[in-house]
């Protein structure tokens, strides 16, 4: 998958939407205004560029206050991120959030899905029923679901048992994800609870954004899955 190309498209869509957004409007699920969201995402872009370039964990504020308009700040930090990632070898070693992928290419993927979810956040300020971003297809949304669990599940530490086996089904891409009682991936036991939706809606579901999924089976296990501290 060409993560950098998708990242260019999705960050460009965020920038275009930000140009016409009501900067005082509140996003649906995260408690920020669109201006605060722009500062956050711009700050994350700059931080990721620093991490990739320097090979060490850089300092980051969750919602920086840079003393410049949010649109100008986001555009500048987007340019910094893209220019940095275009320049660096994706296979080069660097600092990442992953326990297994320690290459610059990690940041192509991580920043794509950071932006994709926040693009929905931005649009949710004007439409709380906004669909998943159409700038990418189902296979990209599905990879975003995988990325959450590839990156953040190993960082979550000891998690409470789920009390069952959970299966997520993407109805458009055909992808599936299975978690055992102990959170082990691809558990061979039959699922006791299932969540079905299009891949884009599953991505928003696993990131606690929108609830447009079909649940069946053990709802208590699903509630434990939904509330588990896997997401940063």
Q: What is the pLDDT of residue 51?
A: 98
Q: Are residues 99 and 173 in the same domain?
A: no
Assign residue 214 the CATH number of its domain: 3.30.1050.10
pLDDT at 232: 80
Predicted local distance difference test score (pLDDT) of residue 63: 87
Structural domain includes residue 142: no
**Residue 127 covered by a domain:** yes
Domain annotation covers residue 143: no
User: Looking at the DSSP assignment, which residues form a beta bridge with residue 177?
Assistant: 168
Question: What are 39-49's pLDDT values in tens digits?
Answer: 999 999 999 99
Per-residue model confidence as pLDDT tens digits over 206-231:
999 999 999 999 999 999 999 999 98
Residues 110 and 165 in one domain: no
Residue-by-residue DSSP string for 82-122: HHHHHHS-TTSB---S-SS--BTHHHHHHHHHHHHHHHHHH
Task: For residues 108 and 45, state if they share a domain.
Answer: yes
In a domain, 219, yes or no: yes
Which residue, chain included where needed, has tokens 């061979």?
A: 188
Q: What is the pLDDT of residue 156?
A: 82
| Pair of tokens at residue 39 | 């500062």
Residues 121 and 172 in one domain: no
From 104, 136, 168, give the residue that closes a domain. 136
| Residues 109 and 8 reside in one and the same domain | yes
Of 105, 136, 167, the residue at which a domain comes to its end is: 136
- Number of neighbours of residue 83 by Cβ within 10 angstroms: 11
Query: Dmax of the chain from CA atoms?
Result: 54
Domain count across the chain? 2
Task: For residue 200, tell me if it sits in a domain.
Answer: yes
Q: Are residues 42 and 107 in the same domain?
A: yes
Q: Does residue 192 lie within any of the structural domains? A: yes
Residue 181 CB coordination number (10 Å) = 15
Scan for tokens 């993560």, then name that residue.
3
99: in domain:
yes
Helix, strand, coil fractions of the chain, as percent rounded to 5: 45, 10, 45
Stretches in the chain below the pLDDT threshold 70: none
Give the pLDDT score at 142. 99
111/210 same-domain check: no
Strand, helix or coil at 31? coil
User: CA 85, CA 4: separation in Å to the nearest integer?
Assistant: 8
Is residue 144 in a domain?
A: no
Range(s) of the domain holding residue 22: 3-136
Residues 123 and 169 in one domain: no
């Amino acid at each position: 998958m060409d993560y950098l190309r998708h990242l260019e498209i999705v960050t460009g869509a965020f920038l275009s939407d930000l140009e016409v957004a009501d900067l005082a409007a509140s996003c649906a699920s995260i408690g920020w205004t669109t201006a605060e969201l722009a500062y956050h995402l711009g700050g994350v872009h700059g931080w990721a560029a620093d991490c990739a370039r320097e090979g060490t964990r850089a300092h980051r504020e969750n919602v920086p206050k840079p003393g410049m308009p949010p649109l100008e700040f986001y555009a500048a930090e987007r340019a910094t991120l893209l220019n940095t990632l275009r320049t660096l070898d994706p296979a080069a070693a660097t600092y990442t959030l992953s326990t297994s992928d320690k290459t610059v290419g990690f940041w192509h993927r991580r920043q794509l899905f950071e932006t994709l979810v926040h693009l929905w956040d931005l649009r949710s300020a004007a439409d709380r029923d906004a669909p998943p971003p159409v700038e990418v297809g189902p296979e990209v949304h599905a990879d975003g679901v995988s990325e959450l669990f590839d990156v953040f599940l190993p960082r979550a530490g000891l998690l409470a048992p789920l009390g069952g086996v959970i299966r997520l089904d993407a109805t458009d891409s055909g992808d599936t994800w299975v978690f055992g009682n102990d959170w082990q991936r691809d558990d061979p036991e039959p699922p006791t609870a299932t969540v079905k939706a299009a891949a884009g809606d599953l991505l928003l579901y696993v990131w606690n954004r929108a609830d447009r999924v079909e649940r069946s089976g053990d709802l208590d296990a699903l509630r434990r899955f939904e509330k588990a501290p896997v997401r940063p």
